[in-house]
């Protein structure tokens, strides 16, 4: 099968970002050539979120997902493993599966009747004997597989690049923080309700920046919404001495240690009570510090485009649809062991706050759109943006893994994100990507599932 040659990195990318000065060119938000390079250099070789295992309990269960603009089918196999395939027929390219989720024994293209097993193999087609007489080998024309599929504590990721490092290496020490969300009591997590889809006219990096470490905006943008949900303003966090920015390999998490600050914005006291009851068990399993993070004022993201809010429990992927448009897919993540009433309260709370009509998301969506659209002006795009907040705040002996910075009102995670972005954009292969962040914790520090690697 033909494989396109990897394109050379764009010239001058290093001039778009000055991390020491904290400057960023506005071109990164609107330049179509940069966007095309992102599809190849970022999305075609990064680990991307595909599904939660709770969506695929039985063999034949599937969901359709996106890896940037590539649509894929994610399906549980008969042996219990999970595989993923491009959702396109190798005959004439028609989309094969149009449902968001379901259970299937085969996938059949409605154009010419080509039929594929849940393992991606071509099983048959209308007029099969004519194709056989023409020399077609069915083994060569199955669904194109996603090169690697692996899980971490219920989250299913895929990578189109067979040479990419394993998921455990990609996530690295960031798993220490992911466990705050995914492993509170050892019983795992699940999605409740369905997937909410919406379209926002913005560059995909704008909301990623927002979630990866921008608590700064919440004190202004979300003040009225917070007052409505809390009965008062968001707590003052500008100079909280017990708050942090942490990042690893471009993933980022900003947080304080108030236990339930994010959860409180849902306006439901029962959810706060649940988290306080759960905290001693989290402290026993994960330590006192992480037990104070479970619902605290915080936001986080896994490079490149997966974001979530602990406590508010909105879990989302920003799928690019060109340099100025995204399709947002959102779920509500809860502890599997939580009482049914608490799960439902969380689902309703997430809808009230972070959905297309949510009191916080409406604020964000407008900012995201104008932070993209305004940058296209000819004179405007000659002016660099500033992202230098928090320079000189790195903590060398914090005792926490990853790169740790003082104060969650910071832009350290933004700079780390763009360093990773630049490293990938300037590299022809994973072997050329600089290894800037080394794991501090041994593999035995994590209780994680073995990577299930599927090679092409």
Which residues are tagged catalytic?
Answer: 112, 214, 217, 222, 364
Q: Could you tell me the maximum CA-CA distance found in the chain, to the nearest angstrom? A: 75
What is the 8-class DSSP label of residue 293?
Answer: S
Cβ proximity of 314 and 301 under 8 Å:
no
DSSP-based helix, strand, coil % in the chain, nearest 5: 30, 25, 45
| Sheet with strand 314-320: strands edge to edge | 189-200, 326-335, 314-320, 306-309, 298-302, 251-256, 243-248, 403-406
**Torsion over CA: 12, 17, 18, 24 (sign):** positive
Among candidate residues 127, 107, 103, 128, the one with its CA nearest the CA of residue 117: 107
Only one residue has tokens 């290894």, namely 435
Beta strands in 350-421 (DSSP E): 385-386, 403-406
Decide the pairing of beta strands 48-52 and 155-159: antiparallel
What does the chain come to in residues? Answer: 456
* H or E element in which residue 63 lies: strand 61-67
Would you state the structure tokens that stand for residue 214, as one six-digit string? 């921008």
Among candidate residues 86, 114, 111, 252, the one with its CA nearest the CA of residue 177: 252
Only one residue has tokens 């190849």, namely 40
Cβ proximity of 290 and 256 under 8 Å:
no
Would you state the structure tokens that stand for residue 132, as one six-digit string? 């056989």
Among candidate residues 159, 197, 205, 199, the one with its CA nearest the CA of residue 35: 205
Cβ proximity of 272 and 259 under 8 Å:
no
Q: Give the CA-trace dihedral at 160, 162, 164, 169, to 10 degrees.
A: 100
Distance separating alpha carbons of residues 306 and 300, to the nearest angstrom: 9
Q: Compute the C-alpha angle 384/416/440, nearest 5°.
A: 165
Per DSSP, the three-state class of 36 is helix
């Amino acid at each position: 099968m033909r494989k396109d040659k990897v394109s050379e990195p764009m010239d001058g990318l290093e001039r778009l970002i000055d991390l020491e000065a904290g400057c960023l060119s506005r071109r990164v938000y609107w330049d179509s050539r940069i966007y095309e390079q992102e599809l190849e250099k970022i999305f075609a070789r990064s680990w991307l979120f595909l599904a939660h295992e709770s969506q695929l309990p039985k063999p034949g269960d599937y969901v359709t997902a996106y890896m940037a603009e590539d649509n894929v089918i994610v399906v549980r196999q008969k042996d219990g493993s999970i595989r993923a395939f491009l959702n396109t027929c190798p005959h004439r390219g028609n989309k094969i599966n149009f449902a968001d989720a379901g259970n299937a024994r085969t996938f059949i293209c409605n154009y010419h009747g080509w039929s594929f097993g849940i393992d991606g193999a071509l099983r048959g087609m209308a007029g099969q004997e004519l194709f056989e007489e023409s020399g077609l080998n069915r083994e060569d024309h199955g669904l194109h597989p996603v090169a690697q599929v692996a899980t971490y504590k219920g989250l299913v990721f895929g990578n189109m690049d067979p040479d990419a490092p394993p998921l455990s290496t990609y996530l690295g020490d960031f798993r220490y923080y992911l466990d705050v969300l995914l492993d509170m009591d050892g019983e795992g997590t699940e999605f409740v309700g369905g997937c909410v889809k919406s379209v926002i006219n913005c560059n995909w990096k704008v909301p990623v920046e927002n979630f990866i470490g921008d608590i700064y905006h919440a004190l202004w943008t979300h003040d009225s919404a917070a007052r409505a949900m809390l009965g008062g303003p968001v707590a003052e966090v500008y100079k909280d001495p017990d708050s942090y920015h942490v990042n690893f390999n471009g993933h980022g998490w900003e947080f304080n240690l108030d236990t339930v600050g994010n959860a409180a914005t849902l306006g439901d006291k029962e959810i706060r009570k649940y988290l306080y009851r759960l905290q001693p068990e989290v402290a026993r399993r994960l330590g006192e510090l992480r037990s104070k993070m479970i619902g605290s004022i915080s936001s986080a993201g896994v490079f490149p485009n997966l974001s979530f809010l602990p406590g508010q429990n909105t879990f989302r992927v920003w799928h690019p649809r060109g340099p100025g448009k995204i399709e947002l897919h959102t779920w509500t993540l809860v502890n599997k062991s939580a009482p049914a009433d608490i799960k439902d309260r969380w689902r309703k709370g997430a809808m009230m706050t972070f959905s297309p009509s949510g009191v916080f998301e409406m604020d964000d969506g407008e900012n995201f759109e104008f932070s993209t659209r305004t940058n296209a002006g000819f004179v405007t795009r000659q002016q660099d943006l500033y992202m230098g907040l928090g320079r000189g705040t790195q903590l060398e002996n914090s005792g926490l893994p990853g790169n740790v910075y003082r104060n969650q009102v910071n832009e350290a995670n933004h700079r780390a994100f763009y360093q990773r972005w630049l490293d990938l954009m300037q590299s022809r292969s994973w072997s050329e990507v600089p290894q800037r962040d080394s794991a501090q914790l041994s593999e035995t520090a994590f209780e994680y599932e073995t990577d299930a690697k599927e090679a092409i």
